[in-house]
Amino acid sequence: MVKTDVIIIGAGPVGLFAVHQLGIKGLKAVVIDNLDKAGGQCIELYPDKPIYDIPAIPECTGEELTTKLLEQIKPFKTDFYFNERVNEVIQEKENWIVQTSKNNKFTAPNIMIAGGVGSFEPRKLPLKEAEKFEGKSLFYSVKNKEIFKGKNISIFGGGDSALDWALELSKNSKVTLIHRRNEFRGAPHTLSEIKKLSAQGKLSIKTPCELVAIEGSKDISEIKIKYEDGKTEQIKTDNILSFFGLIMKLGPIAEWGLGMEKKAISVNSDNFQTNKKGIFAVGDICTYPGKLKLILSGFHEAALASVECFKRARPNEKYRFEFTTSSKTIKGRLGKK
């Protein structure tokens, strides 16, 4: 069981800034996210798009903002738990216990939910038999590319992830890239590299077609695809990699007994606490009169919630408001003189 002052659910921009606001008050936090990296919507949905309304930063991309936020919280040496979805929240006296999809447990007097529009999850293959191979020979992301070496890999999708992995894995494996349309959406440069490999017989492209069956008992042995004209083809396959994009699911958050309004968590705008003491909601996931789903609003919400977190985590200490410019304590926590 990991003990901390605040458990932050969500490593989007607001969850990251919450680490800062808690850190300068001397509070330790852990951050848990279902994705494999920090940044939330900024990284998953618009890494290259410029944002123009972050105070004092006239223009920065989603990725640049994430990098800066991570840099700003470096002094706090925060532990991040990625690829884990928070499934359960249980009360134990004055503390909360959080359990994740990897069965890790965390306890703290405070939980800050910065879960955005819910957890991002891969859009799964619609075939029933897909489930039994998931995580063994069928994957929706690549965690360790070494396991695919020397194998027959069927990659599904038409976007950047499908193209990037087709290119990368074709160095050491026999790759078939399958897409339901003739046109791919990924970067033109990657696509032209892939077409070159296909012309040299080093990679196979199958379009426009869809997966209709997966065969195999314990592991996948073969797949069947169907072309638009109804013709079918069997392809020898050890592994399937499917990249059909991400969907956002509110998921288990809706089952924690929190006051909800239109798929968002109701909070009071004094301290962003929910109907449960010690559980706060900040960023896109919270709602209150006048709420704006903007990054800057989330930053403000995290700052105010962190004050109440301090009071709960340090009930015997008095909270003192301080400026970062002049507080020796804060400067010390940031490693500045």
* 252 is a contact residue toward ligand FAD (CB under 6 A): yes
Q: Which is nearer to ligand FAD, 127 or 296 (CB)?
A: 296
Q: Which is nearer to ligand FAD, 51 or 205 (CB)?
A: 51
* 158 is a contact residue toward ligand FAD (CB under 6 A): no
Q: For 98, which DSSP code?
A: E
- Of 89, 225, 295, 309, which one interacts with ligand FAD (CB under 6 A)? 295
Q: What residues have CB less than 8 Å from 130, skipping those under 6 apart?
A: 124, 138, 214, 240
Q: Which of residues 297-326 bind ligand FAD (CB under 6 A)?
A: 298
- Of 8, 9, 19, 177, which one interacts with ligand FAD (CB under 6 A)? 9
* 253 is a contact residue toward ligand FAD (CB under 6 A): yes
- Of 5, 238, 284, 308, which one interacts with ligand FAD (CB under 6 A)? 284
Cα–chain center distance at 136: 22
Q: Which is nearer to ligand FAD, 22 or 114 (CB)?
A: 114
Cα–chain center distance at 148: 24
Q: Which is nearer to ligand FAD, 39 or 186 (CB)?
A: 39
* 191 is a contact residue toward ligand FAD (CB under 6 A): no
Phi and psi at residue 254, to the nearest 5°: -70, -15
Nearest to 224 by CA among 309, 143, 154, 134: 154
- Transcribe 271-290 into DSSP letters: T-B-SSTTEEE-GGGEE-TT
Q: What residues have CB less than 8 Å from 133, skipping those under 6 apart?
A: 214, 216, 219, 220, 240
Token pair of 273 as six digits: 């606490």
Q: Which is nearer to ligand FAD, 5 or 284 (CB)?
A: 284
* 8 is a contact residue toward ligand FAD (CB under 6 A): no
* 251 is a contact residue toward ligand FAD (CB under 6 A): yes
Choices 11-19, 130-138, 161-169, 203-211; region in contact with ligand FAD by CB under 6 A: 11-19
Q: Which of residues 94-133 bind ligand FAD (CB under 6 A)?
A: 114-120
- Of 15, 23, 109, 186, which one interacts with ligand FAD (CB under 6 A)? 15
Burial 70-80 (b: 16+ CB within 10 A, else e): beebeebebeb
Q: For 134, which DSSP code?
A: B
Least distance from C-beta 32 to ligand FAD, angstroms? 5
The answer to whether residues 211 and 223 touch, using CB atoms and an 8 Å cutoff, is yes
How far apart, in whole angstroms, are the C-alpha atoms of residue 136 and residue 155?
Answer: 15
Q: Which is nearer to ligand FAD, 83 or 327 (CB)?
A: 83
* 40 is a contact residue toward ligand FAD (CB under 6 A): yes
- Of 27, 86, 167, 169, which one interacts with ligand FAD (CB under 6 A)? 86
* 65 is a contact residue toward ligand FAD (CB under 6 A): no
Tokens 């447990």, residue located = 105
- Of 28, 185, 226, 293, which one interacts with ligand FAD (CB under 6 A)? 293
| CA distances to 78, 148, 288, 329 from 23, in Å | 9, 41, 26, 11
Q: For 254, which DSSP code?
A: G
> What element of type H or E holds 212?
strand 209-215
Binding site for ligand FAD (CB under 6 A): 9-15, 32-35, 40-42, 45-46, 51, 53, 85-86, 114-120, 251-253, 283-284, 293-296, 298
